[in-house]
Amino acid sequence: MRHLAFVALLLVVVIAGCAVPANDAGNASKIASAPTPTPTPVVTPTPTPTPVPAKPVKRKPAKNASAASQITGKPAAGSKFSMLRIGMTRHQVEALIGLPGDVKTTQLKNGGTRDETFYQHEGVLSFSKNGTVLAHISVDTAANGYQ
């Protein structure tokens, strides 16, 4: 009798064990054969920035520019001289518009010097403070770039 109960129990376990994996195996094959849905990309519109008009820049005269500093003539729009401002250093000027065609250095009574630089088709720039600070712009489009 014990033997029969053991066989019955074993038979129930085997049947139950086979039934569960068969269902899982069937579902697994169905899941494996089903096409995988591809995610739909979400496209959000990028807002177009509203253009803001630029505020005009109010430039103060440079602290080291004297009252006699000025611009003679009007530089043409887009010309090299149109990018210059009184009070710029000579290094800034030359980095911005390039080297001059010629330079004239004048000794002043106070012991300092004034440099004049000549640019072809642009004109003459005068530098004060021993040739280091732009003090005067003289526009002359017919200039040959030499003294």
Q: Please tell me whether residue 48 adopts helix, strand or coil conformation.
A: coil
**116 lies in some domain:** yes
pTM of the model: 0.53
**129 lies in some domain:** yes
Q: Contact, 128 vs 143, CB < 8 A? A: no
**27 lies in some domain:** no
- Under DSSP, the state recorded for 89 is B
Let me know the angle formed at the C-alpha of 16 by 10 and 20, rounded to the nearest 5 degrees: 145
Let me know the angle formed at the C-alpha of 134 by 62 and 72, rounded to the nearest 5 degrees: 95
Q: What percent of the chain has pLDDT over 90?
A: 30
DSSP run (H or E) holding 30: helix 2-33
CA distance 99 to 8: 107
**Residue 68 binned pLDDT confidence (cut-offs 50, 70, 90):** very low
**110 lies in some domain:** yes
**123 lies in some domain:** yes
**100 lies in some domain:** yes
- Under DSSP, the state recorded for 31 is H
Supply the range of the domain harboring residue 134.
82-139
pLDDT at 117: 94
Number of domains in the chain: 1
**103 lies in some domain:** yes
**127 lies in some domain:** yes
